[in-house]
Chain A
Amino acid sequence: MSDELRPPPEPHELDPTLPGVDYSEQVNVSGIHDAVLREKFDPREGMEPMPIWLWVAVALLIGWGGWYLGTFSGGYRADGFDERSGGAFLGEAGAAQAAAGAAAKEDPAVAFAKLGKRQFTANCQSCHQATGLGQAGVYPPLAGSEWVTGCKKRVIAIVLKGLQGPFKVKGTTYNNVMQAWEPVLDDKKIAAVLTFVRNEWGNQAPPISPEEVAAVRAEFASRKVAWTEADLLAIPENSPINIVPAAPSPANPAPATPAPAVAPSAQPSP
């Protein structure tokens, strides 16, 4: 603890017979060896200053920190969520977005197309993929599928009730389960997403309207299980969809009946 080098240990301190002595730190070093070590020992100051390069590095770091804080702080606003805005805040940006949204609303066809794409991304893409090609052997493709571009009633029915068991698409048989979307999506969303998949990836088929979806939903309201291929083929191809005029308003088309759990009862055998 003193500033000088410590004196050599007193002999009594090294007595290993003392009870309670911590043997582990008991040191019996030969005096010669100790002296050699001591000679080589350069007394350190404990006050080695910070190297100059470290001071420079610290200065640079602090400078960088100031610049970064100033540049990416969104103006220190409580509502400045975009660090790159630098002064344009969510309030203003939000207003601009709302205006753009209003402009887009003027064209219902565009809004309908956007709705379809959004629904596809949110609900369908995880299985059928963004490419619409599905996954070989697991999920059937939508691109070029005869079911997608074919009979309107059948494709609406598939989305409403889901599928189970072996199912042949473009010559390949898939054995899997598709969930029923009836309880999840309303007529407008189903129509939008069907219109989207019928006209994406090179598919070309007439659009599907929310009224048509509502009619098919009503027609099969009593069916509680998913379709099998045979059941589906029993629906006559291109049979007409009887739209009940103006009964369910298209603005509020979804029947609010609490849909029974449409748990696919059959497990696909892997």
Chain B
Amino acid sequence: MTAAYIILGISLVAFGAMAVTALVWAARAGQFENFKAGSESIFDSGEPIGEPTDLFPDVDRAKLAAVASRAAKGAARP
């Protein structure tokens, strides 16, 4: 019973400390700087921009390209 409370207390303190450590580490390691690079880090240099990487197996790519360029124009208008 008492042992359970001790485990509970230790685990709460330990996990709080770990969260703080992780936050401090992230700040020191520069994870909160240069957000642009961070957001692009999932793309490799060889990947083109704005090109879908997943499609239904029956999609006509020519039609899709037309739709995409229309959408891009529409987004650019306002």
- Which residue of A has the minimal Cβ distance to B54? A24
How far apart sit A13 and B73, CA to CA, in the bound complex (Å)? 30
For window 17-71 of chain B, which residues contact chain A by CB distance below 8 Å? 34-41, 43, 45-51, 53, 65, 68-69
Which residues of chain A are near B1, meaning CB under 8 Å? none
How far apart sit A29 and B62, CA to CA, in the bound complex (Å)? 11
Which residues of chain B are near A13, meaning CB under 8 Å? 46
Shortest distance between the CB of B44 and any CB in chain A (Å): 8
Contact A37 to B46, CB < 8 A, known contacts A1-B40, A44-B39: no
How far apart sit A46 and B36, CA to CA, in the bound complex (Å)? 4
Contact of B36 among A29, A40, A44 (CB under 8 A): A44
- Which residue of B has the minimal Cβ distance to A34? B48
How far apart sit A1 and B38, CA to CA, in the bound complex (Å)? 8
- Which residue of B has the minimal Cβ distance to A37? B50
Shortest distance between the CB of A265 and any CB in chain B (Å): 48
Q: Do A47 and B49 touch (CB < 8 A)? A: no
Shortest distance between the CB of A176 and any CB in chain B (Å): 49
Q: Do A27 and B47 touch (CB < 8 A)? A: yes
How far apart sit A7 and B76, CA to CA, in the bound complex (Å)? 23
How far apart sit A243 and B72, CA to CA, in the bound complex (Å)? 97
Main secondary structure of the interface of B (DSSP, over half): helix
For window 36-74 of chain A, which residues contact chain B by CB distance below 8 Å? 36-38, 40-41, 43-47
Q: Do B69 and A36 touch (CB < 8 A)? A: yes
Q: Do A29 and B51 touch (CB < 8 A)? A: yes
Which residues of chain A are near B45, meaning CB under 8 Å? 1-2, 6-7, 9
- Which residue of B has the minimal Cβ distance to A12? B46
Q: Do A25 and B53 touch (CB < 8 A)? A: yes
Q: Do A24 and B35 touch (CB < 8 A)? A: no
Contact of A1 among B35, B37, B50, B68 (CB under 8 A): B37
- Which residue of B has the minimal Cβ distance to A2? B37
Contact of B72 among A6, A10, A27, A40 (CB under 8 A): A40
Which residues of chain B are near A10, meaning CB under 8 Å? 46
Interface presence of A223 (CB below 8 A): no
Interface presence of A3 (CB below 8 A): yes
Q: Do B51 and A37 touch (CB < 8 A)? A: yes
Shortest distance between the CB of B16 and any CB in chain A (Å): 20
How far apart sit A142 and B6, CA to CA, in the bound complex (Å)? 58
Contact of A40 among B39, B47, B76 (CB under 8 A): B76
Q: Do A47 and B48 touch (CB < 8 A)? A: no
Q: Do B51 and A3 touch (CB < 8 A)? A: no
A2-B37, A29-B48 given. 9 additional CB < 8 A pairs? A5-B49, A9-B47, A29-B51, A37-B48, A37-B69, A40-B50, A44-B36, A46-B36, A46-B39
Query: Could you list some 22 contacts between A and B, CB below 8 A?
Result: A1-B37, A1-B40, A3-B34, A3-B36, A6-B43, A7-B45, A9-B47, A10-B46, A33-B65, A34-B51, A37-B50, A37-B51, A37-B69, A38-B49, A40-B72, A41-B50, A45-B36, A46-B35, A46-B36, A46-B37, A46-B40, A47-B36
Q: Which residues of B contact A (CB under 8 A)?
A: 34-41, 43, 45-51, 53, 65, 68-69, 72-73, 75-76
The 5 closest A-B pairs by CB, nearest first: A46-B39, A46-B35, A46-B36, A47-B35, A40-B72
